[in-house]
Each structure stands twice: as structure tokens, then as C-alpha cells.
Amino acid sequence: MIKITEKSECCGCNACVQRCPKQCISMKEDEQGFLYPFVDTTSCIDCGLCEKVCPILNPFDTKEPLQVLAAKNKNEDQRLKSSSGGTFILLAEHIIKQGGVVFGARFDTNWEVEHCYAETIEELEPLMRSKYVQSKIGNTYKEAEQFLKDGRLVMFVGTSCQIAGLKRFLRKEYDNLLAVDFICHGVPSPGIWRKYLEEIKSSRSEAAGKNTVLSLSLKSVPVITGINFREKQQGGYGWKKYGFVVQAKSPSKGDKNSVLLSSIFNENIFMKGFLANLYLRPSCYKCKAKNGSANSDITIADFWGIQKSHPEFDDDKGVSVVFIHTCKGKGIIKELSSRLDLIDSNLKEATLPNPVYFRSCQEPKKYSLFWNIYKKTKSVHEAVNAATKLTFIDVIKIFLRRFYNKLRRTFKMVN
Ligand SMILES: Cc1cc2nc3c(=O)[nH]c(=O)nc-3n(C[C@H](O)[C@H](O)[C@H](O)COP(=O)(O)OP(=O)(O)OC[C@H]3O[C@@H](n4cnc5c(N)ncnc54)[C@H](O)[C@@H]3O)c2cc1C
Ligand code: SF4
Ligand code: SF4
Ligand code: SF4
């Protein structure tokens, strides 16, 4: 029976919950805002299935990709609406056009993130773009299994551990399944995300700052109408700056959609805390699904560093890196090759600027500081500000590191 003694030993994939024949496992949110499984021992028959399907207890082997490509969707509108090079939407449309089903993550009515499936082209739009919050998998492995058994084509997109969880849950290979993961930095806490949204809505701090276009009063709490973690067009952010935009309707301003918040990653509190690794799931610091061990057919990601390795390919509208792991993956990319601009790359070139392909993010030194302040103040803004504030010692360290790097470069040039 599943028993979580170390938080880092559960990625929250929900495989155990969905496989239990007695439905005696339920997910409960912990004080950090992540879901963990709990077994009702009175109903458990000790069959051991939950342990068999757990991707943390049964990790897959790492493997080298068959091929690595830089890719851009030729449909510029789709590429601009996607996080990276728009590879997901091309794959997804291809599956739907063949009568298939596509699983991915969307915002629910409370702007929390959940997995779901699409059967039409129109239903794909909410699945597009990265949502930097852990998604609730719900019963989607079970639903996917039923579609697979019915002989439908299924594409399932998720974090590497969600794909490993799906593969363990299914316990057999299906020819009609295309499993797609992405290079995964780690997933932020849904609890912190919920609190952050409350704060920007009630204008507690950042929403009252210089990036707020909408002036808010506590009496007229705005209704969020759209969130984009990777806005490329509005604000002229382009691909590399991670434009984060929240749209809202303000009851006091009529029914008009306005921009509640719009900023680049290093000016936005939630993105700052995410990229400083302050509230990733504990399993993300010890990830067991890196380096091809998700057992996916294809891994998609941002091709960071393309401006250096292939500058002619970069227009700051987004480039994907596509790691092909199986013949099935190779086949589908070949079928789509007329709709993609492609160039050959290799593992080293594609991962040098994206090392989380191989290894987990480190738990930051200020991890405990963040959580202690958050527990006391219940303010995401205060806790992130405190944990990302540079001390005098930090500034000296940065100066010395830069000076040392400059010296090294000069020394290399002289030699
Ligand atoms: C939490 C997270 C961390 C990431 N970390 C990195 C990284 O370190 N380096 C890197 O190069 N790329 C990372 N990515 C992937 C990257 O942001 C793009 O999603 C990827 O390049 C695909 O882009 P696209 O243009 O092809 O398609 P998009 O249209 O952007 O498609 C995104 C796909 O991801 C799915 N998805 C979105 N949010 C979630 C979620 N929360 N959980 C599960 N699935 C989701 C969508 O349903 C869709 O299928 C991360 C993505 C997420 C969600
Ligand atoms: S051992 Fe079997 S019955 Fe018990 S929790 Fe696990 S899957 Fe459910
Ligand atoms: S990793 Fe997944 S299968 Fe394993 S205990 Fe956690 S939720 Fe269950
Ligand atoms: S870093 Fe690893 S454990 Fe964390 S969400 Fe991504 S794949 Fe899962």
C-alpha cells in the first residue's frame, strides 16, 4: 500500500488513485498547496497495485533521443499564440483530424490548472500554452485508457512525471498512444498560485504597482477573464521575455476586458518566485523522470540558445526543440514536416542552455525562509520579496563572480 513518508517521493501523478480497485485512495492538499495520496486502510485489500503503478517507485531507464530538431510551426499565427515554436498545436490538430483525442492542461473556471481532453479543433485552444502551476490529473489516465481500448488515437501531453505515471498506469504499450512530455523546470504549488491570484485581485501589492493599467478598489474585485504566462505580442514582449498577462473585467468599469497585470518574468512576483525555485513540488528537486526517462515518444521544449547556435533561425517569435525518442514519434514528425520549418540539431547543442533536461533544479538556500515567512504572513508577495531580496553579501558575491568570469574570458583570449 502507498505510504508517503518523504514528500519528495511523490510527484502527485494520481496513478495510484486511479488504479486502486477499491477506490480507497484520495488526494489531499498539504500546507504547501500540493496534493498527496492518502489510503483509507479500512477498505484497502493490500493488493499492491498502487505501488506497481507508481512512477517514483518504478522509474524508467534514461535513454538518448533518436533525433534532435529545431522546429517552427509555419503557421505564424499559431506560433505566436504558443509558448515556444507551436509544435504542440500541429501535433494535436493532426491527431484530431484522424478522429483522435488530445489530453493536455487548461485553466478551470477558478483559474486553477487541470488536465482534460479535446476531441475537436475548437477544444484545443484552452490546452495551448504553458501554465506554470501543477495540473490536477484527475481521472484522465482512466479516460485515456478507455479511448485506447476503443481503438481511438490518443495524444497525451504532460510533465515528464505525468507521462511516466501514465505509462506505469497503463502497464502495456499501445500503438495508438502518442505520449509527449516537455523539458520540465518543475511545477509551482497550486496553493501558492491560488493565493497569488487572490492577492492581485484584491490589489494587495503588485497590482497596485507601475504595471497595473486597471485601477482597482477593494470594493470592486475584478473578475479574471484571461491569463497568459507566455504572451508574445501584447506589450511587444516577444518569445524570450516570458510576458505574463492577466486580463480582467472590472464591475466598476462596466463589462470591458482590461489588462489587470502585464509584465516580464523578472518584474512579476509569481514568475520571480517560480524561477527562483521557491515553491516547486518537493519531488521536482529530486526528479526521477529526467533525461528521456519519461518514456515518451517526443519531448518538446523551448530551444533556448538558438540565437547563438543558429541565429538565422531565430526571429524571437518562438522556436521549439523536438527530441524524438521512438519510431512512432519520428513517423509523426515526418508526416508534419511540410508544416514545420526544421533544422537538425543535437543533444549537446539543445540542452546546454536547458540543463534541466538532465538534472533537477536545486532547492534554493532561501527555500525555508520563503516558507517560514509565507506561513507567518500568508502573503505570496511578502514572502517572495523577502526571499529574492539581495543582501550586501549577495551583491558582493555576484560582483566577484562576474569579475572572475571576465578574468577567465580575458585569460582564454590571451592564450
Ligand atoms: C511547468 C512547466 C515547466 C516547463 N519547464 C520548461 C523548461 O525548463 N525548459 C523548456 O525548454 N521548456 C519548459 N516547459 C515547456 C515549454 O514551456 C512549452 O510548453 C513547450 O516548449 C511546448 O511549447 P509549444 O509552443 O510546442 O506548445 P504550447 O501550445 O505552449 O503547448 C504546451 C503544452 O503543455 C501542456 N501544458 C501546459 N501547462 C501544463 C501543466 N501545468 N502541466 C502539464 N501540461 C501542461 C499543454 O496542454 C500543451 O499540451 C515547461 C512547461 C511547463 C508547463
Ligand atoms: S493496496 Fe490495493 S486496495 Fe490498497 S490502496 Fe493500494 S491499490 Fe488500493
Ligand atoms: S507518485 Fe503518483 S503513483 Fe506514486 S504515490 Fe504519488 S501520486 Fe501515487
Ligand atoms: S520536475 Fe520532475 S517531478 Fe517535477 S513536475 Fe517536472 S517531471 Fe515532475
Instruction: Return the residue whose CA atom lies nearest to atom 4 of ligand 2.
Output: 44
Query: What pLDDT does residue 325 have?
Result: 98
- Nearest in space to 241 (alpha carbons), one of 69, 83, 51: 83
- 276 Cα: distance to centroid of ligand 1 (angstroms): 18
Residue from 56, 160, 286 whose mutation best tests the ligand 3 pocket (most atoms within 8 A of CB): 56
Say yes or no: CB of residue 149 within 6 Å of ligand 2.
no
Say yes or no: CB of residue 281 within 6 Å of ligand 4.
yes
- Which ligand is the nearest neighbour of the Cα of 50? 2
* pLDDT band for position 252 (cuts 50, 70, 90): low
Identify the bridge partners of residue 107 per DSSP, sorted by sequence position: 113
Residues 289 and 342 in one domain: yes
* pLDDT tens sequence across 78-130: 999 999 999 999 999 999 999 999 999 999 999 999 999 999 999 999 999 99
What is the spatial distance between Cα 238 and Cα 232, in angstroms, rounded to a whole number?
4
- 391 Cα: distance to centroid of ligand 1 (angstroms): 33
Say yes or no: CB of residue 46 within 6 Å of ligand 2.
yes
Residues 201 and 142 in one domain: no
Residues 331 and 379 in one domain: no
Instruction: Return the residue whose CA atom lies nearest to atom 3 of ligand 2.
Output: 44
Q: Work out the average pLDDT over 285-297.
A: 98
Q: Work out the average pLDDT over 290-318.
A: 96
Residues 157 and 284 in one domain: yes
Query: What pLDDT does residue 262 have?
Result: 84
**Does the pLDDT of residue 207 top 50, yes or no?**
no
In a domain, 402, yes or no: no
Please give the order of strands across the beta sheet that includes 223-231: 223-231, 243-249, 257-263
Domain that holds residue 338: 67-188+280-357
CA angle 155, 161, 167 (to 5 degrees): 50
**Does the pLDDT of residue 282 top 90, yes or no?**
yes
Q: Cell 462596466 appears where? A: 254
More confident residue, 405 or 343: 343
* pLDDT band for position 332 (cuts 50, 70, 90): very high
Residue 13 CA: nearest ligand 4 atom is 8
Residues 177 and 230 in one domain: no
Say yes or no: CB of residue 22 within 6 Å of ligand 2.
yes
- Nearest in space to 67 (alpha carbons), one of 352, 328, 353: 328
More confident residue, 369 or 221: 369
Query: What pLDDT does residue 97 have?
Result: 98
- 43 Cα: distance to centroid of ligand 4 (angstroms): 31
Instruction: Return the residue whose CA atom lies nearest to atom 2 of ligand 4.
Output: 287
Q: What is the mean pLDDT of the chain?
A: 92
Say yes or no: CB of residue 288 within 6 Å of ligand 4.
no
* pLDDT tens sequence across 382-413: 999 999 987 777 777 777 777 777 777 777 76
In a domain, 403, yes or no: no
In a domain, 217, yes or no: yes
In a domain, 411, yes or no: no
Report pTM.
Answer: 0.93
Residues 291 and 371 in one domain: no
Residues 184 and 194 in one domain: no
Residues 6+ apart with CB under 8 A from 150: none
Say yes or no: CB of residue 289 within 6 Å of ligand 4.
yes
Say yes or no: CB of residue 389 within 6 Å of ligand 2.
no
Instruction: Identify the burial level of 52 via C-beta atoms within 10 angstroms of its C-beta, where 0-12 means exposed, 13-18 middle and 19 or more buried.
Output: middle
Residues 220 and 243 in one domain: yes
- 401 Cα: distance to centroid of ligand 2 (angstroms): 52
Q: Cell 514572502 appears where? A: 383
- Give the CATH number of the domain where residue 18 resides: 3.30.70
Instruction: Return the residue whose CA atom lies nearest to atom 3 of ligand 3.
Output: 54
Say yes or no: CB of residue 11 within 6 Å of ligand 4.
yes
In a domain, 161, yes or no: yes
Residues 88 and 162 in one domain: yes
Say yes or no: CB of residue 160 within 6 Å of ligand 4.
yes
Q: How many domains does the chain divide into? A: 3
In a domain, 284, yes or no: yes
**Does the pLDDT of residue 210 top 50, yes or no?**
no
Instruction: Return the residue whose CA atom lies nearest to atom 3 of ligand 4.
Output: 284
Query: Helix axis angle, 367-377 relative to 380-388, nearest 10°?
Result: 150
- 53 Cα: distance to centroid of ligand 2 (angstroms): 11
Residues 93 and 199 in one domain: no
Residues 28 and 80 in one domain: no
Residues 38 and 172 in one domain: no
- 271 Cα: distance to centroid of ligand 4 (angstroms): 17
Residue pair 176/201 in contact (Cβ under 8 Å)? The answer is: no
* pLDDT tens sequence across 259-277: 888 888 888 999 999 999 9
Residue pair 82/88 in contact (Cβ under 8 Å)? The answer is: yes
Residue 14 CA: nearest ligand 3 atom is 7
**Secondary structure element (H or E) that encloses residue 118, with its range:** strand 113-118
Query: What pLDDT does residue 116 have?
Result: 98
Say yes or no: CB of residue 163 within 6 Å of ligand 4.
no
In a domain, 397, yes or no: no
Say yes or no: CB of residue 59 within 6 Å of ligand 3.
no
Q: Work out the average pLDDT over 31-49.
A: 97
- 226 Cα: distance to centroid of ligand 3 (angstroms): 31
What one-letter code names the amino acid at 264?
Answer: I
Say yes or no: CB of residue 13 within 6 Å of ligand 3.
yes
In a domain, 410, yes or no: no
Between 49-63, 222-236, 299-313, the lowest mean confidence (pLDDT) is in: 222-236
